[in-house]
Amino acid sequence: MTDNGMTGVCLRGVRVIDPFRDVDSRDEDLTVVGGLIVPRDDPRARGCVEIDGRGLWLVPRIVDMHVHFREPGQTWKETIETGCQAAAHGGVTGVAPMPNTLPVVDTPELVEWEAQRGADLGLVHVYPIGAITRQSQGEALADLYFMHQKGARAFSDDGHPLTSSALMRAALTYAATLPAAIINHAEDRQLATGWCNEGPVAEQLGLAGTPEAAEAVMVWRDVMLAELTGGWLHEAHVSTVESLHAIRYAKAKQLGVTAEVTPHHLLLTDDALREWRYDPVTKVNPPLRSKATREALVKAVSDGDIDVIASDHAPHHADEKSLNYQEAPYGISGLETLLGATFTALLEPGLMRPLDLMRLLTVGPHRVLRLSYPGLIPGAAADLTLIDPQRRWVVDPGQFYSRGRNTPLAGRTLVGQAVATMVQGRWVMRDGEVLNAGVSNLHR
């Protein structure tokens, strides 16, 4: 195996899907030395480890830009370490943890600490997202500039909507000067009084429902404020038909607006509540929607109206998810099913070309987080994932590296799975096993 990336690796016969260069090419060879892509005839490539990649896809820089790692403060749910392991296991080379930890990541010191923690682990890239407002309380802007200086890639009060339109206006205006995107969790809390989607399923089960309008009214507001300010808005986990109209409107007007959809909203509907009955494993915010809405989301993604697919990885302890439907927390542990669920929803039915789909997991998040990557050219960092697109596998949360085993996909067969993940030339996962960095790497 590679010795911290110093010995070369040559991946042979892979299908390279590189959205950064708009390339989808079969039977390629790729050589990695010293953590970088090198030309095939590079003298250092001599004696490199040969890997047969036939039948596999090679995709650079898959980034999940919406995860919750719970550290600091709620480490029984997840830590940065277990979260990064889950990412590597899921075939993800970079993650952007949301700042709704305890305390909230709302200072440059916490941003720096989080980034350093990620770097020390040496598993996957960690791109901190800072809070928009102090303690995400929606009352006063946090020090966005100082946080940005220390590596915050975007700002969000995720988990809480930014209710004040005046503050949203200020945030969009100010963050544009950094520049950085404002990521909003759109939800009118006064309208969103339920625990699941409003509709026949909720009505029949006797669970309080929340209408789609609770999200859409704020998405429309945000779009209008993006227009007013010229700022950069990213809507997290869009899940309603009317939100899609707002996003399309924004794009038609060429506003600085991007949007994200989660795999669970693309794959599941509120019928999952009939299947799981009152088990809060299906409780997620925004809630699983109707069949018609799921189809609209799938269509929006396959039509290219959506920029990013992200998991909204929200791990919880089993005890918390064993509470009743009202008391149990929202969220699905999604990092380790990100690729499988996305492929099953979009590739398996033949709705998208692989290159177009992979753009949403690579180029899309890079744009929102203002990350740059040149594509798989000599000199580029060897951050890549090998994927077996045909592999059928049954989701077994017992195999997760995440501490959160909470997923309504448990027991479901998905198609497509990462078989190896490389970050900066080092394998961080092979054949489902996460390879933690050595001590030397931790204390370098």
For another protein, the closer CB: 44 or 317: 317
Residue 16: count other Cβ atoms within 10 Å of its Cβ.
22
- Give 208: exposed, middle or buried? Use CB within 10 Å, 0-12, 13-18, 19+: middle
For another protein, the closer CB: 1 or 318: 318
- Give 34: exposed, middle or buried? Use CB within 10 Å, 0-12, 13-18, 19+: middle
CA of residue 24 relative to chain centroid, distance? 23
Q: Does 203 bind another protein (CB under 8 A)?
A: yes
Q: Does 50 bind another protein (CB under 8 A)?
A: no
**Among residues 170, 207, 363, 415, the one that binds another protein under rule CB under 8 A:** 207
Distances (CA, A) of 305 to 113, 161, 249, 362, 366: 35, 23, 10, 16, 17
Q: Does 278 bind another protein (CB under 8 A)?
A: yes
How many residues sit in the footprint of another protein (CB under 8 A)?
Answer: 18
Q: Does 323 bind another protein (CB under 8 A)?
A: yes
For another protein, the closer CB: 158 or 198: 198
Do the beta carbons of residue 305 and residue 61 sit within 8 Å? no
**Among residues 73, 179, 200, 378, the one that binds another protein under rule CB under 8 A:** 200
**Among residues 242, 279, 295, 356, the one that binds another protein under rule CB under 8 A:** 279
For another protein, the closer CB: 279 or 348: 279
Q: Does 325 bind another protein (CB under 8 A)?
A: yes
Closest by CA to 185, choosing from 139, 243, 268, is 243
Q: Does 118 bind another protein (CB under 8 A)?
A: no
| Shortest spacing between CB 268 and another protein, in angstroms | 19
Q: Does 254 bind another protein (CB under 8 A)?
A: no
Q: What are phi and psi of 321, to 5 degrees?
A: -80, 0
Instruction: List, in order, residues 6 or more apart from 231 with CB less than 8 Å away.
Output: 171, 172, 173, 175, 176, 182, 225, 256
Which single residue is written with the structure tokens 């969000």? Answer: 156
Q: Does 397 bind another protein (CB under 8 A)?
A: no
For another protein, the closer CB: 271 or 279: 279
Do the beta carbons of residue 268 and residue 294 sit within 8 Å? yes
Which single residue is written with the structure tokens 């998905």? Answer: 414
Annotated active-site residue 18? The verdict is: no
| Shortest spacing between CB 321 and another protein, in angstroms | 9
Q: Does 204 bind another protein (CB under 8 A)?
A: yes
Q: Does 277 bind another protein (CB under 8 A)?
A: yes
| Shortest spacing between CB 282 and another protein, in angstroms | 11
Q: Does 324 bind another protein (CB under 8 A)?
A: yes
Q: Which residues of 212-245 are buried (b: 16+ CB within 10 A; e: fewer)?
A: bbbbbbbbbbbbbbbbebebbbbbbbbbbbbbbb
Q: How far apart are CA 286 and CA 192, in angstroms?
A: 10
For another protein, the closer CB: 141 or 205: 205
Q: Does 292 bind another protein (CB under 8 A)?
A: no
| Shortest spacing between CB 79 and another protein, in angstroms | 23
Closest by CA to 125, choosing from 354, 369, 353, 309, is 369
Which of these is catalytic: 303, 312, 356, 431? 312
Q: How far apart are CA 339 and CA 230, in angstroms?
A: 33
**Among residues 45, 178, 191, 205, the one that binds another protein under rule CB under 8 A:** 205
Catalytic residue numbers, as ranges = 312
Residues that bind another protein (CB under 8 A): 198-200, 203-207, 277-279, 319, 322-327
